[in-house]
């Protein structure tokens, strides 16, 4: 059944017209997911659901999802054109990551026909927000060392889940999660994992908000106690979870560049930050040569970081260097961000000690930004892990000794030995 696909340019004009007629200007809470309080956040969530439904009814939801699942069956080029037309307009920002990718992407790649039918149309209609449940309190970078356990109930064939997951963004209002769990403790760690789909808002799932040191509470921790999951909500093979997991993490890395994600181009994520020049000016130090050196250093690091990204991309395109070179970019970005935060803190001077209720950027907030500085070297895999990857897989140095290679996971040390 070869159906003629609408040309990108015709599609673009149709999209432009529809967007103009139906979508308002971009809102502050589209640029950043941060809201003043939970009440405002729930309003934003409801508004995102309604906006996603509007896209669905207008025939513009899920451009790269198949038609039989409620999508439009179009190409990444159509999605890019739509995103370009969407510039400056409001959009359902909370669906982009992690709902469309990695969650919907994983269901598309590994889900059964029934799972796809049950969830992809619901996601595209704005009815289901999805969270990804990968990290655990007991293991940061060692994702495959998951200890959340799923045990088969021989009577019903259901799985009984127990354990905890952590760093799940805004899980407290999400509907579903994909979960990586251990189903076999008698084989090495990568061979005993399985992936499940799980409703989040249920009795056996306790969701706790994690307060970061700056007071912000977007991340959550979930404790699962005897959560019953039917086998029909298993994704991929039993004990085949690492196959799913590796692609899951690929889709996670794709993030906002995924063809499944619809969002306006030209968006900068996170809050709109005061520039080093603005901070120095506000601090009354713009003519100070020492301050100018800091401003210039910060600017240079920004230029170097983007050129490094370009070099690594061109190296990959030319077949030079291996895929682990991406760890070089991760390490550089982490260290450069840390330095830039420190520079902003230095430029702000004593003014960074306190701020008024009205200040959302500038000198006053640099103190708190500084306290949160190391996030850029922790989130998404620590810089220590990237240093290991660079040393071992790029430079070919000997691997670190590990206690879990070829060992049944049951026998892998998970804490200090006690006599």
- Candidates 87, 120, 127, 86; CA nearest to 104 is 120
Q: Identify which range of 44-52, 229-237, 243-251, 384-392 contacts other proteins by CB under 8 A.
A: 384-392
Q: Tell which one of 201, 214, 225, 314 touches other proteins (CB under 8 A).
A: 314
Q: Is 1 in the site for other proteins (CB under 8 A)?
A: no
Site for other proteins in 92-111 (CB under 8 A): none
Q: Tell which one of 155, 215, 395, 418 touches other proteins (CB under 8 A).
A: 395
CB 60 → other proteins: shortest distance, Å? 34
Q: Tell which one of 16, 311, 382, 412 touches other proteins (CB under 8 A).
A: 311
Q: Tell which one of 106, 123, 195, 390 touches other proteins (CB under 8 A).
A: 390
**x/- site string to other proteins, residues 330 to 359, per CB under 8 A?**
-xx--x------------------------
Q: Tell which one of 63, 220, 301, 344 touches other proteins (CB under 8 A).
A: 301
- Between 153 and 307, name the residue whose CB sits nearer to other proteins: 307
Q: Tell which one of 122, 277, 368, 375 touches other proteins (CB under 8 A).
A: 277
Q: Tell which one of 400, 413, 416, 419 touches other proteins (CB under 8 A).
A: 400
CB 205 → other proteins: shortest distance, Å? 38
Q: Identify which range of 63-71, 95-103, 243-251, 293-301 contacts other proteins by CB under 8 A.
A: 293-301
Q: Identify which range of 49-57, 147-155, 276-284, 352-360 contacts other proteins by CB under 8 A.
A: 276-284
- Between 291 and 344, name the residue whose CB sits nearer to other proteins: 291
CB 110 → other proteins: shortest distance, Å? 34
Q: Is 121 in the site for other proteins (CB under 8 A)?
A: no
Q: Is 286 in the site for other proteins (CB under 8 A)?
A: yes
Q: Which residue has the tokens 């495959």?
A: 144
Total number of residues that touch other proteins (CB under 8 A): 45
- Between 75 and 342, name the residue whose CB sits nearer to other proteins: 342
Q: Is 403 in the site for other proteins (CB under 8 A)?
A: no
Q: Is 310 in the site for other proteins (CB under 8 A)?
A: yes
Q: Tell which one of 325, 348, 363, 377 touches other proteins (CB under 8 A).
A: 325
Q: Is 361 in the site for other proteins (CB under 8 A)?
A: no
Burial class (CB in 10 A: 0-12, 13-18, 19+), 399: exposed
Q: Tell which one of 278, 371, 408, 412 touches other proteins (CB under 8 A).
A: 278
Q: Identify which range of 79-87, 159-167, 229-237, 302-310 contacts other proteins by CB under 8 A.
A: 302-310
Convert the chain into a string of H (helix), E (strand) and C (coil). CCCCCCCHHHHHHHHHHHHHHHCCECCHHHHCCCCCCHHHHHHHHHHHHHHHHHHHHCCCCCCCCCHHHCCCCCCHHHHHHHHHHCCCECCCHHHHHHHHHHHHHHHHHHCCHHHHHHHHHHHHCCCCCEEEECCECCECCCHHHCCCEEEECCCCCCEEEEEEEEEEECHHHCCEEEEEEECCCCCCHHHCEEEEEEECCCCCEEEEECCCCCCCCCEEEEEEEEEEECHHHEECCCCEHHHHHHHHHHHHHHHHHCCCCCCCCCCCCCCCCCCHHHHHHHCCCCCCHHHHHHHHHHHHHHHHHHHHHHHHHHHHHCCCCCHHHHHHHHHHHHHHHHHHHHHHHHHHHHHHHCCCCCCCCCHHHHHHHHHCCCHHHHCCCCHHHHHHHHHHHHCCCCCCCCCCCCCCHHHCCCCCCCC
Q: Tell which one of 387, 405, 410, 414 touches other proteins (CB under 8 A).
A: 387
Using CA atoms, how far apart are residues 324 and 313, in angstroms rounded to an integer? 12
Q: Tell which one of 5, 46, 210, 304 touches other proteins (CB under 8 A).
A: 304
Q: Which residues bind other proteins (CB under 8 A)?
A: 275-278, 286, 289, 291-297, 299-301, 303-305, 307-308, 310-312, 314-315, 318, 320, 325, 328, 331-332, 335, 384, 386-388, 390-392, 394-395, 397-398, 400
């Amino acid at each position: 059944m070869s159906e003629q696909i609408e040309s990108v340019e015709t599609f673009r004009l149709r999209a432009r017209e529809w967007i103009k007629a139906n979508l308002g200007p971009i809102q502050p809470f589209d640029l950043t997911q941060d809201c003043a309080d939970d009440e405002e956040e729930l309003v934003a969530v409801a508004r995102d659901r309604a906006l996603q439904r509007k896209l669905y009814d207008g025939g513009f939801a899920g451009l790269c999802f198949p038609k039989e699942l409620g999508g439009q069956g179009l190409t990444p080029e159509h999605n890019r054109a739509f995103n370009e037309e969407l510039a400056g307009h409001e959009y359902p920002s909370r669906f982009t990551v992690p709902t469309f990718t990695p969650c919907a992407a994983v269901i598309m790649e590994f889900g059964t026909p029934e799972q796809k039918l049950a969830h992809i149309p619901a996601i595209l209609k704005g009815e289901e927000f999805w969270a990804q449940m990968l990290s655990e309190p007991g293991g940061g970078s060692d994702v495959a060392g998951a200890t959340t356990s799923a045990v088969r109930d021989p009577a019903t064939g259901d799985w009984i889940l127990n354990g905890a997951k952590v760093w799940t963004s805004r899980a407290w209002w999400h509907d579903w999660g994909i979960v990586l769990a251990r189903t076999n403790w008698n084989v090495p760690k990568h061979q005993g994992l399985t992936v499940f789909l799980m409703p989040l808002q249920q009795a056996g799932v306790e969701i706790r908000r994690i307060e970061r040191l700056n007071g912000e509470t977007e991340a959550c921790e979930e404790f699962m106690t005897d959560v019953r999951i039917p086998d029909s909500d298993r994704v991929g093979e039993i004990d085949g979870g690492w196959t799913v997991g590796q692609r899951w993490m690929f889709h996670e890395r794709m993030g906002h560049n995924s063809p499944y994600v619809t969002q306006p181009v030209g968006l900068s994520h996170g809050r709109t930050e005061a520039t080093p020049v603005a901070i120095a000016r506000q601090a009354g130090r713009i003519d100070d040569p020492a301050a100018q050196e800091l401003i210039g250093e910060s600017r240079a690091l920004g230029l170097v970081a983007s050129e490094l990204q370009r070099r690594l991309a061109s190296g990959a395109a030319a077949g030079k260097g291996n895929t682990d070179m991406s760890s070089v970019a991760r390490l550089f970005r982490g260290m450069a961000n840390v330095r830039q935060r420190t520079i902003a803190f230095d430029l702000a001077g004593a003014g960074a000690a306190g701020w008024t209720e009205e200040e959302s950027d500038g000198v006053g907030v640099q103190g708190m930004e500084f306290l949160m500085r190391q996030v850029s070297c922790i989130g998404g895999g620590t810089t220590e892990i990237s240093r290991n990857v660079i040393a071992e897989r790029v430079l070919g140095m000997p691997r670190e000794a590990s206690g879990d290679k070829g060992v049944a996971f049951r026998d892998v040390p998970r804490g200090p030995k006690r006599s």
